[in-house]
Amino acid sequence: MTRSTATTRLRQETDEIPDRVAMQVADRRDDFERAGAALRRHDPQMLITVARGSSDHAATYLKYLSEMTAGRPVASIGPSISSVYGRSLRLDGAACLSVSQSGRSPDLTAFQDMARQAGALTLALVNTSPSPLSTGADIAMDIGAGPEHAVAASKSYVCSLSAMAALVAAWTQTASLGTAVSRTPDRLRNALSCDWSALVPAASNARSIYVIGRGPGFAIAQEAALKFKETCQIHAESYSAAEVMHGPIQLAANGLVALVFLSRDEARPGLLDAVARLAGSGARVFVADPLGEVASDGRAITPLPCIAAPDPLLDPLCQITSFYRFIEHLAGALGFDPDAPQLLNKVTETL
């Protein structure tokens, strides 16, 4: 339970994020162009995604990118529909994207097989190829994150997001987004230096944490909440800024800690309203703002340093990279070894 080495694998792999995204930009561009062209030809009425854990949080990012940029609705489907319940869906006119680091989860592979037989164009996004998932897909893409040994995903998650942005840029022929992806590695280097230690004491003593985002930022809120649990045994939960104003805000009365991933886009006013209402209800609120405009109120609201990406849609990549550095630090401060969670293994083969 205590740390045995000065540098954890989680720290090493987080530090690799900028270089791995840069290599992806240099080496994998043709793969995403090819997949984007296939999506244009197939012209799916909808996308469906299948994934688990961090890969499923990455799929949430694709959902918002697709709905906001391509106008196609995205359904996240539990692979249990085929692996547990033995059902087939009607998927003519759909495209199915499977996301898996290992590419060898049997339930995802079975789902992908069902989807292709049901008429969907199948795309697999993996970090291991060849793998059963990549060889079984109509189109396979490798995120090129390199070997990941830490139990907690970090570079594979960010490389999944950059791959999805490159894919959507190619699909919708949005040159500005494609260019922005290629300029992101430098910003990720800066994001590694953002010091979020102001959050350490509050998080260490928190009974509960909410991680809040909206749109593409909700995808990293999901990922950050999982990391609080798996590396620090802290109960954190992700919320969209819209949903938290319903029943969930009741926990603010209990000294809740909230981490808000602020956006620069149309969601910004609603997120700022959530910051104010959470702070006014008793929560301690920490805000990662790419614009750096949110100021401390000396009490409830604390800004965290944050790097703006070359495009607002890519801000989440910088925010989660700063977060990964923070969570490794927090785990150490709490006496946990983030590379050796008590109850976890790297590959969970779920049925």
The binding site for a second copy (CB under 8 A) comprises 45-46, 48, 52-53, 56, 67-68, 71-78, 80-81, 84-94, 152, 207-208, 214-215, 226-227, 229-231, 233, 235, 237, 240, 242-243, 245-254, 265-267, 270, 281, 341-344, 348, 350-351
Give the Cα separation of 328 and 228 in Å (integer). 10
The contacts found for 326-329 with CB under 8 angstroms, 24 or more apart, are 326/196, 326/197, 326/199, 326/200, 327/10, 327/152, 327/224, 327/227, 327/228, 327/231, 327/232, 328/8, 328/10, 328/11, 328/14, 328/231, 329/196, 329/197, 329/200
* Contact by Cβ (8 Å): 351, 107: yes
The neighbouring-strand residues paired with 76 are 49
Closer Cβ to a second copy, 151 or 194, answer by number: 151
* DSSP annotation string for 296-319: --SSSEEEE--PPPSSGGGHHHHH
Closer Cβ to a second copy, 78 or 305, answer by number: 78
Closer Cβ to a second copy, 138 or 265, answer by number: 265
Closer Cβ to a second copy, 28 or 61, answer by number: 61
Q: Give the shortest CB-144-to-a second copy separation in angstroms.
A: 23
Q: Give the shortest CB-157-to-a second copy separation in angstroms.
A: 12
Q: Give the shortest CB-142-to-a second copy separation in angstroms.
A: 23
Q: Give the shortest CB-72-to-a second copy separation in angstroms.
A: 6
Q: Give the shortest CB-10-to-a second copy separation in angstroms.
A: 13
Closer Cβ to a second copy, 190 or 208, answer by number: 208
Give the Cα separation of 61 and 216 in Å (integer). 5
Q: Which two tokens stand for residue 41?
A: 């030809």
Closer Cβ to a second copy, 12 or 80, answer by number: 80
**Residue whose entry in the numeric block shows the structure tokens 């992908």:** 112
Q: Give the shortest CB-248-to-a second copy separation in angstroms.
A: 5
